[in-house]
């Protein structure tokens, strides 16, 4: 199982997070980050922002019955962006 999850919840948000724990009914999400598609000139990019602005560093419970879709494995570039956003560590890309 991946330590990172990327999923869409019933309210429409797409969220990436580190799995802190898992129960039969929920994920305990550490530092969940929501994704938004934003225009960048004539193209589009992703913007990452705290899923819970009132508690950006805290854990959140994501109930499994509210999940609409779940990626098998988040894309590597998104994981790097998540790590940089949540830790400040920039991971070098291999050539």
pTM as predicted: 0.86
Residues 11-55: tens digit of each pLDDT: 999 999 999 999 999 999 999 999 999 998 999 999 999 999 998
The phi and psi torsions of 82 (rounded to 5 degrees) equal -65, -45
Centre a 10 Å sphere on the Cβ of residue 62 and count the other Cβ atoms it contains.
Answer: 20
Please list, residue by residue across 69-92, b when 16 or more beta carbons sit within 10 angstroms of its beta carbon and e when fewer do. Answer: eeeeebeeebbebbbeebeeeeee
Instruction: Return d(Cα 38, Cα 24) in angstroms, integer.
Output: 35
């Amino acid at each position: 199982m991946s330590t990172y999850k990327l999923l869409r919840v019933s309210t429409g948000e797409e969220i990436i997070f580190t799995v802190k724990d898992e129960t039969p009914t929920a994920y305990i999400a550490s530092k969940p980050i929501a994704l938004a598609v934003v225009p960048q000139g004539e193209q589009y990019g992703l913007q990452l922002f705290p899923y819970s602005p009132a508690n950006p560093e805290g854990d959140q419970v994501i109930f499994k019955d509210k999940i609409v879709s779940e990626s098998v494995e988040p894309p590597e570039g998104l994981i790097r962006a998540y790590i940089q956003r949540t830790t400040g560590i920039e991971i070098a890309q291999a050539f």
